[in-house]
Amino acid sequence: MVQLVYRVFFADDEPLICNELRYILEQEPDIEIVGECYAGSKVVGEIKKYKPHVVFLDINMPGSSGIEIASQLVQEPFPPLVIFVTAYEEYAIAAFKVNAIGYVLKPFTGEDIQKVLRQVRILLGRQVQYTDRLQKTLDILQNNKLKRIPAEKDGKIFLIDPEEIHVILVKNKITYIQTQHHEYISNQPLLHLEEKLIGSHFFRCHRNFLVNLKKVKEIIPWFHGTYLLVVYAKDKMEIPVSRYRVKDFKELVDL
């Protein structure tokens, strides 16, 4: 019989806690540690990347709290099981409102962690094999989707490779797609194109602009901590990053 392996991710801003948790988990033959994180603001992105079955979360972390992170994870198609590891008893009710399956108080022992792992094994069981196969199927379908974008120019419909697109913008309620040499008109709203290009190099820097970050040549600091992105599409463009997207932009380009 093939032994199931459970992928585990943990997030805590205390390195000593991470080291202790890692040591305990490494003693379990059916546990694979796929990632760890120390900043709350990066946890959701890392979890989407590694797709763990189980997540151990601290509650008080810089950037985002464990409760906020868990409330986002529960919206995912295949949310991981969440176990909170915290020094605070008073968050227990809030934790279980976001479907946490465990609440471990610091300082914890190996037996505390093994106890919640026994619950994990009962809850997941064969479900792990099923969800893994289903996720792989969805990934294959997503990768095989037609990625080219239909758009009109001179009365003709062209299928545009996203890699050729520099920027997509809205002017006077019309969506334009600009490549290095041409400008096309799309009948799709910017939000729809953003969803279609999810997982690629495009970033919604402003409500009217969706920019291919691979085509950005310069980043100019601007007022109130914002930026202008210089893109050489059909013409040179200076595209604003709205103040509401500055934090996400800086994380994406590692500023």
In the chain, what are the domains?
Answer: 6-142 (3.40.50.2300), 149-253 (2.40.50.1020)
pLDDT tens-digit profile, the chain (255 residues): 445 788 999 999 999 999 999 999 999 988 999 999 998 889 999 998 888 999 999 999 888 899 999 999 988 877 899 999 999 888 888 988 898 999 999 999 999 999 999 988 888 875 655 555 556 655 654 554 547 889 999 999 999 999 899 999 999 989 999 999 999 999 989 988 988 887 678 999 998 999 999 999 999 998 888 899 999 877 788 999 988 888 888 888 877
Helix pair 40-50, 66-73: axis angle to 10 deg: 30
Nearest in space to 165 (alpha carbons), one of 173, 174, 154, 175:
175
> What is the 3-state composition of the chain as percent helix, strand, coil, each rounded to the nearest 5?
40, 30, 30
